[in-house]
Amino acid sequence: MMADVSPEDTLRLYRAMLRIRRVEEEVARLYPSDSIKSPVHLSIGQEAVAVGICDPLRAEDIVSITYRGHAAYLAKGGSLPAFMAELYGKATGSAAGKGGSMHLIDIERGILGASAVVGTNIPVAVGYALALKREGRGRVVACFLGDGATEEGVFSESLNFAALKRLPILFVCENNGYAIHATTSQRWASDQLCARVSTYGIPATLLADGDLLAIRAAAAAAYAALRQGAGPAFLECRTYRWREHVGPNEDYDAGYRSRAELEVWQARDQIARLSAALDGKERDRIDAALSTEIAAAVAFAERSPFPGIEQLTHDVFAE
């Protein structure tokens, strides 16, 4: 086993990351069949951020996710059958088949509803953190956002308010280097994101190489401080998406990034890192169990009904 993590932790973290990747690989496999009724933004390659951030959370804590939210949804314990049914547009889905991939939600497991509009989950997460502070039970919020969301005005407004009110929220920027096809160097005059955040009086840490254990340790330390009333914290987690911005395929022939970039991050793959620390029989057992679980979730989605026509007027401002 790895020297800096227990055997039990190694197994749990490996399984959590591999589960996300296997689920998303199945989504990519199914997508061309038209069974999935919404666009998909895959997190293949970014699993370590979601798992590192969510593993130290308590069951009663909250996460706020983005349209690229599969990984965090699964890492926080969101229902896999409800996830798959939602992608199929079925009534048994997490949003009753109305939201699709970009609007996952599981309130019972502490997962706020995602939004497809860049940056809009941030103020919702801040509002929830304010409610948790008033509640006074020591619960915290982890708010995921992409590097593109830091360019929205609501990002600055939300950080300022969270700092002013000393809210129990950890902002987690999954910086994969691209807002769709535009690099950070094309969009940012300076790449010193943490320095910008620190001007609000928020402690900000850069985790540059995607190391799962470093992300997990930083998150755990942040949560401990949040629970003691220290106010918000910020983590910039550099990462890399292996597939296209939206859809199941690769896009290295599109001219905006190179396969050499991918190879750098593949060499750092945290799933492979933890896999090397496990016995082959353990890996086989986990793989087999995941295959069974994923197949059952797909079968559940396939046999579930579509929403009835009467659902068109439900969950709106007026019936």
Which CATH number do you get for residue 211? 3.40.50.970
Has residue 313 been placed in a domain? no
**In the predicted structure, residue 292 carries a pLDDT above the cut 60:** yes
CA distances from 130 to 61, 135, 213, 231, 262 (A): 13, 9, 29, 11, 39
Task: Establish if 250 belongs to a structural domain.
Answer: yes
Q: Is the pLDDT at 229 greater than 70, yes or no?
A: yes
User: Mean pLDDT score of the chain, rounded to an integer?
Assistant: 96
Per the domain annotation, does 104 fall within a domain? yes
pTM for this entry: 0.96
**pLDDT given at position 312:** 87
311 lies in a domain? no
Within a domain: 319: no
Residue 250 reports pLDDT greater than 60 = yes
CB neighbour class for 285 (10 Å; exposed up to 12, middle 13-18, buried from 19):
middle
Q: Is residue 317 part of a domain?
A: no
Mean pLDDT for 207-217 is 98
Three-state SS letters, the chain: CCCCCCHHHHHHHHHHHHHHHHHHHHHHHHHHHCCCCCCCCCCCCCHHHHHHHHCCCCCCCEEECCCCCHHHHHHCCCCHHHHHHHHCCCCCCCCCCCCCHHHCCEHHHCEECCCCCCCCHHHHHHHHHHHHHHHCCCCCEEEEEEHHHHHCHHHHHHHHHHHHCCCCEEEEEEECCEECCEEHHHHCCCCCHHHHHHCCCCCEEEECCCCHHHHHHHHHHHHHHHHCCCCCEEEEEECCCCCCCCCCCCCCCCCCCCHHHHHHHHCCCHHHHHHCCCCHHHHHHHHHHHHHHHHHHHHHHHHCCCCCHHHHHCCCCCC
Residue 180's domain comprises 7-305
> How many domains does the chain contain in total?
1
Q: What is the mean pLDDT of residues 236-256?
A: 97
Q: Is the pLDDT of residue 10 over 70?
A: yes
Strands 169-175 and 178-179, by their bridges, are: unpaired
> How high is the pLDDT of residue 273?
97
| Bridge partners, 171 (sequence order) | 143, 234
Contact status, residue 231 vs residue 169, Cβ threshold 8 Å: no
Mean pLDDT score, 9-33 = 97
Interval 104-108 mean pLDDT = 97
Judge whether 124 lies within some domain: yes
Using only C-alpha atoms, what is the Rg of the chain? 19
Q: What is the pLDDT of residue 1?
A: 45
Asked whether the predicted pLDDT for residue 2 surpasses 70, the reply is no
Residue 192: inside a domain: yes
Summarize the confidence of residues 41-46 as an average pLDDT: 98
Q: What is the mean pLDDT of residues 68-92?
A: 98
Confidence band for 3, pLDDT divided at 50, 70 and 90: low
- Tell me, what's the pLDDT at 315? 85
